[in-house]
Amino acid sequence: MKQDLPNIPGPIGVFDSGYGGLTILKQIRGVLPEYDYIYLGDNARTPYGTRSFEVVYEFTRQAVTKLFEMGCHLVILACNTASAKALRSIQINDLPKIDPSRRVLGVIRPTVESIGEITHSRHVGVLATDGTIKSESYPLEIHKLFPDIIVSGEACPMWVPLVENNEANSTGADYFIKKNIDQLLNKDKLIDTVILGCTHYPLLLPKIQRFIPENIQLVTQGEYVATSLQNYLQRHPEIDKKCTKGSTTQFCTSEAKDKFTESAFVFLNEVISVQRVLLE
């Protein structure tokens, strides 16, 4: 175990490359309001979606280590790109060296667990970042549980920048949203369920709903991740007792504080105070 990690109970860490994970944090706090949380956004280096496996792994490992140093025993990667490209490597290579008793969980598995009950046609679409689509994590995870489901994916490289730059409601956003939805649905006409496989996308929901046919079910992740975390903590009392319960949230960013406070308001509808941290 690393000597300098605090070994007393601490908050649950929630990590994302930027603001997207706030959509997950919001739902987690709704289901588990009694816990303490630290949210960390790597806003200085977002987006992760177009970066290589090596870089996403390195950045995510740095963020997880930082959250451990800040007292977390359990960290949720509230980012599909990090869950797709870094989660398994961190669990297998790093946790045994850092501290085998700490836990890191992702958002892909909890999302796909529900899919078998939602799709009737057994044809599912996934909208996500380039990195998540190329990693094939969604088809791999879906097929572990439901081998009969046919999965098509579409990378939406412009969607995260639209959200990060506060353009989610602009008319300019319509072009990119319609284009990627049409491309996905053209790949498989039998799709009846579409997973929004990026934590930024709920901010684009009003526009996505406008361009997606009404008979298609949209799956957003927050509630599935929150319920799955609740079940996890019930099944793992040894982890639960290391998570403090004081209903507080600390916000941290690797970028300047002011921008985070302003943008976080869009996601949480709440004025927050934030601390800058250095990730290295």
Which amino acids are annotated catalytic? 79, 198
Q: Which is nearer to ligand DGL, 11 or 21 (CB)?
A: 21
Q: Is 200 in the site for ligand DGL (CB under 6 A)?
A: yes
Indicate the residue whose CB is closest to ligand DGL. 49
Q: Which is nearer to ligand DGL, 14 or 277 (CB)?
A: 14
**Cα atoms found within 13 Å of the Cα of residue 191, Cβ hemisphere only:** 27
| Distance in angstroms (rounded) separating the CA atoms of residues 70 and 95 | 16
For the chain, how many residues are written?
280
Q: Which is nearer to ligand DGL, 129 or 193 (CB)?
A: 129
Residue 221 Cβ vs ligand DGL, minimum distance, rounded to whole Å: 8
Q: Is 137 in the site for ligand DGL (CB under 6 A)?
A: no
Sequence-separated (6 or more) residues with CB below 8 Å from residue 70: 10, 11, 13, 38, 250, 252
| Distance in angstroms (rounded) separating the CA atoms of residues 154 and 191 | 13
Question: Of 31-39, 96-104, 192-200, 261-269, which part binds ligand DGL (CB under 6 A)?
Answer: 192-200
Q: Which is nearer to ligand DGL, 98 or 225 (CB)?
A: 225
Q: What three-state secondary structure class fits 249?
A: strand
Query: Which residues from 10-39 bind ligand DGL, rule CB under 6 A?
Result: 16-18, 20
Cβ atoms 36, 242 nearer than 8 A: no
| Distance in angstroms (rounded) separating the CA atoms of residues 168 and 152 | 25
Instruction: Give the residues lining the site for ligand DGL (CB under 6 A).
Output: 16-18, 20, 46-49, 79-81, 129, 132, 160, 198-200
